Chain A
Amino acid sequence: MKACTAWGMYPQIECRHFKFNKEAPLKQIIGDQSSLIPYGNGRSYGDSALSENIVDVRPKDYFIDFDEESGLLHVQAGVLLSEILETFVPRGWFLKVTPGTKLITVGGAIASDVHGKNHHVEGCFSECVEEFDIMLTDGEIVTCTKEDTPDLWKATCGGQGLTGVTLEAKLTLKRINSQYIDQTTIKTKNLKETFEAFEEYSHMPYSVAWIDCLAKGNEIGKCLLMVGNFRDDGKLDYKLKPQKSIPFNFPSFALNNWSVRAFNWLYYGKVKEKVSKQRVDIDTFFYPLDAIGHWNRIYGKKGFTQYQFILPKETSYKGLEEILTAISKSGKGSFLAVLKLYGKANENWLSFPMEGYSLALDFKIEKGVFELLDRLDKIVLKHKGRIYLTKDVRVSKTTFEQGYPNIDKFRQFRQENKMAEKFQSLQSKRVGI
């Protein structure tokens, strides 16, 4: 048994850690263990990849092939997005869809059907996946495509590793001609202005807003909206930068209401003009937090969770106003609150995005936090929203299932294919999937 946790460092459990280098031993592991879950680079926040038995997929990190014409990249599932960038940005290619960290595996990206700042244009990660190979309960390896095995596709993309162990995938990369982005920053005064700004700039391929969660009264929802697009200057000299790392857990009192408030004020106050323009590089624009290794340690050794929900567009304004007010009143807020306007939902049964606004914020694990989140859940449900499993560590079965209309299809598919018993995480047991 080994100590095991995920990015939120909560919970910390003991688990058996399985490695495999070939298909036969993996088949054996799946056959022998009563239940298990695949584990990538440990960057999902909660307990979606935690279980008594985990299968480490990260060592499967070979690049298999790349077609310079079409941009089709064939890799093993343990390859990190950062490795893809390091290899292909200098050759003029970028990920079609990338989340806010590049330190996740391709297998993990599929299991969470991750999305990024361009969701309103390009959709989720599965949109750039041509096919993937997955080992199922009986050890059979299936090459899954949207057309030939639609149910397996819809269950696996966003399915949190609960359908099998993804081994390889073919992804389409997109052409770029610069590693720099022309960024426009729009400073807004309240939620209404924030929504207007999102609509006004919805033609921009990349957009995300940083919200001050502790703002009160008529300032609620004030933000810095950052939008951007790749430049066309031919500068592709991209290299992975060495990380500055947080070497130890901060004492848990380091992040209190006042320090967060001061940080928010500094961050927001730094931007003077209503609209300003910057030239930034890929890492600054897409992966600001990757520059600090182990930034999760700032929340102290008890860890933290990220609460991310999405509301349909029609209810977004009212819902967000209500939730931001509740958070502001509670005085528990986070360093980072990220707001984004999403495009249409895809057909995958557990994919998180839908057309509307999503907010994500961190909470350190402390007294009263789970009660607060339960209260927020009620507001989310009232406004027909849902919770993102990849960030979650505490949502209840009832809350979770109300948000996902296809949940029974997912459950039934798992039952029929004998996956329900075999692939399980702490999360899947809690939310009953």
Chain B
Amino acid sequence: MSYVLIVGAKSDIAKATARGYAKHGYDLYLAARDVQELTNFAKDIATRTHRDVNLIELDILNYDSHQAFYDNLKEEPLGVISAVGYLGEQEKAQSDFSETQKIIDTNYTGVVSLFNIIADDFEKRRSGFMVGISSVAGDRGRKSNYIYGSAKAALTAYFSGLRNRLYDAQVHVLTVKPGFVATKMTEDMDLPEKLTAQPEEVAEDIYKVQQKGRDMLYTKRIWRYVMMIIKMIPEWKFKEMSI
């Protein structure tokens, strides 16, 4: 048993994480929609590391397909990492419920559907690790992205409950909260350099912290303190602010 399952594998953080785990000797299942787009990437990892890389089609919004997806893995994975995420367009989502629903379902419902299935299995076999990439945006709702943020807040609460449930079964659950990361998702934003991580830094942090068995990771680390301050601002003040 040497496989790690990475879902949402086309994201930049997922790709960096996949390279990181392969480098440390793990074989990979990379799951995403239109996963054949990752063919060259899979070859890259195989050339670099000699690990086995499998591409598997997965539509996170097609909940009914999740059980079969998991059952069809040729070998049970050691652990699962979700990098599923959809930022969406906040303004569009405010007036167009289908955009809101897509944001909520991609970031929350879909991940929950799949992780429920995997959690049952890991709990039964009493081993495994589960890593969920949430976001600092879930720590406090802001007008610029609160639909996305609220879905991530729900996801953070879900992982927290899952960790609590799986503690006895010795299944480790890690919640990752990246701050700004220089990825396709944030390409058009003007991000402050000192607060912005490269996907490779996030990936390295995830690997290290997962191996240590920690529960929570802010990456870059400074975001822990940034969010601590943002969470401390009283609501009567926060509502006036534009951050």
Cβ of B43 and Cβ of A64 under 8 Å apart? yes
Considering the chains assembled together, what is the distance between the CA atoms of A300 and B47 in angstroms? 41
Partner of A62, one of B40, B49, B187: B40
Interface residues of B in 27-63 (CB under 8 A from A): 40-41, 43-44, 47-49
Chain A proximity mask over B146-190: 1 for CB below 8 Å, otherwise 0 = 000000000000000000000000000000000000000001000
Cβ of B187 and Cβ of A63 under 8 Å apart? no
Considering the chains assembled together, what is the distance between the CA atoms of A432 and B187 in angstroms? 35
Q: Which residue of A lies closest to B42 (CB)?
A: A62
Most chain A C-beta atoms within 10 Å of own C-beta, residue among B41, B47, B187: B47
Cβ of A64 and Cβ of B187 under 8 Å apart? no
Chain B proximity mask over A57-82: 1 for CB below 8 Å, otherwise 0 = 00001111110000000000000000
Considering the chains assembled together, what is the distance between the CA atoms of A66 and B47 in angstroms? 7
Considering the chains assembled together, what is the distance between the CA atoms of A310 and B236 in angstroms? 69
Q: Which residue of A lies closest to B47 (CB)?
A: A63
Chain B residues positioned under 8 Å from A63 (CB to CB): 43-44, 47-48
Interface size on A, residues (CB 8 A): 9
Interface residues of A in 9-35 (CB under 8 A from B): 19
Q: Is A87 an interface residue (CB 8 A)?
A: yes
Cβ of B44 and Cβ of A64 under 8 Å apart? yes
Chain B residues positioned under 8 Å from A61 (CB to CB): 44
| Closest chain A CB from B243 CB (angstroms) | 23
Most chain A C-beta atoms within 10 Å of own C-beta, residue among B40, B44, B187: B44
Interface range on chain B (Cβ under 8 Å from partner): under 10
Considering the chains assembled together, what is the distance between the CA atoms of A61 and B187 in angstroms? 18
Chain A residues positioned under 8 Å from B40 (CB to CB): 62, 64
Partner of B187, one of A19, A66, A87: A19
Chain B residues positioned under 8 Å from A66 (CB to CB): 47
Considering the chains assembled together, what is the distance between the CA atoms of A2 and B187 in angstroms? 13
Chain B residues positioned under 8 Å from A83 (CB to CB): 48
Considering the chains assembled together, what is the distance between the CA atoms of A63 and B44 in angstroms? 5
Considering the chains assembled together, what is the distance between the CA atoms of A325 and B240 in angstroms? 67
Chain B residues positioned under 8 Å from A64 (CB to CB): 40, 43-44, 47
Considering the chains assembled together, what is the distance between the CA atoms of A62 and B19 in angstroms? 11
Considering the chains assembled together, what is the distance between the CA atoms of A83 and B44 in angstroms? 12
| Closest chain B CB from A424 CB (angstroms) | 25
| Closest chain A CB from B48 CB (angstroms) | 5
| Closest chain A CB from B130 CB (angstroms) | 28
Considering the chains assembled together, what is the distance between the CA atoms of A66 and B44 in angstroms? 10
Chain A residues positioned under 8 Å from B48 (CB to CB): 63, 83, 87
Considering the chains assembled together, what is the distance between the CA atoms of A66 and B40 in angstroms? 14
Most chain B C-beta atoms within 10 Å of own C-beta, residue among A61, A63, A64, A65: A63
Cβ of B187 and Cβ of A65 under 8 Å apart? no
Q: Which residue of A lies closest to B12 (CB)?
A: A59
Considering the chains assembled together, what is the distance between the CA atoms of A63 and B47 in angstroms? 6
| Closest chain A CB from B50 CB (angstroms) | 9
Considering the chains assembled together, what is the distance between the CA atoms of A19 and B188 in angstroms? 11
| Closest chain A CB from B14 CB (angstroms) | 15
Considering the chains assembled together, what is the distance between the CA atoms of A239 and B75 in angstroms? 30
Considering the chains assembled together, what is the distance between the CA atoms of A305 and B48 in angstroms? 35
Considering the chains assembled together, what is the distance between the CA atoms of A367 and B47 in angstroms? 50
Q: Which residue of B lies closest to A3 (CB)?
A: B193
Considering the chains assembled together, what is the distance between the CA atoms of A87 and B19 in angstroms? 12
| Closest chain A CB from B84 CB (angstroms) | 20
Chain B residues positioned under 8 Å from A87 (CB to CB): 47-49
Interface residues of B in 180-234 (CB under 8 A from A): 187
Considering the chains assembled together, what is the distance between the CA atoms of A63 and B41 in angstroms? 8
Q: Which residue of B lies closest to A61 (CB)?
A: B44
Most chain B C-beta atoms within 10 Å of own C-beta, residue among A62, A64, A65, A66: A62
Chain B residues positioned under 8 Å from A19 (CB to CB): 187
Considering the chains assembled together, what is the distance between the CA atoms of A19 and B40 in angstroms? 18
Considering the chains assembled together, what is the distance between the CA atoms of A19 and B186 in angstroms? 13
Chain B proximity mask over A75-100: 1 for CB below 8 Å, otherwise 0 = 00000000100010000000000000
| Closest chain B CB from A384 CB (angstroms) | 45
Considering the chains assembled together, what is the distance between the CA atoms of A168 and B47 in angstroms? 15
Chain A proximity mask over B123-154: 1 for CB below 8 Å, otherwise 0 = 00000000000000000000000000000000
> 16 A–B contact pairs at CB < 8 A?
A19-B187, A61-B44, A62-B41, A62-B43, A62-B44, A63-B43, A63-B44, A63-B47, A63-B48, A64-B40, A64-B47, A65-B43, A65-B47, A66-B47, A83-B48, A87-B47
B contact residues vs A (CB 8 Å cutoff): 40-41, 43-44, 47-49, 187
List 8 extra interface pairs beyond A63-B48, A83-B48, CB under 8 A.
A62-B40, A63-B43, A63-B44, A64-B44, A64-B47, A65-B47, A87-B48, A87-B49
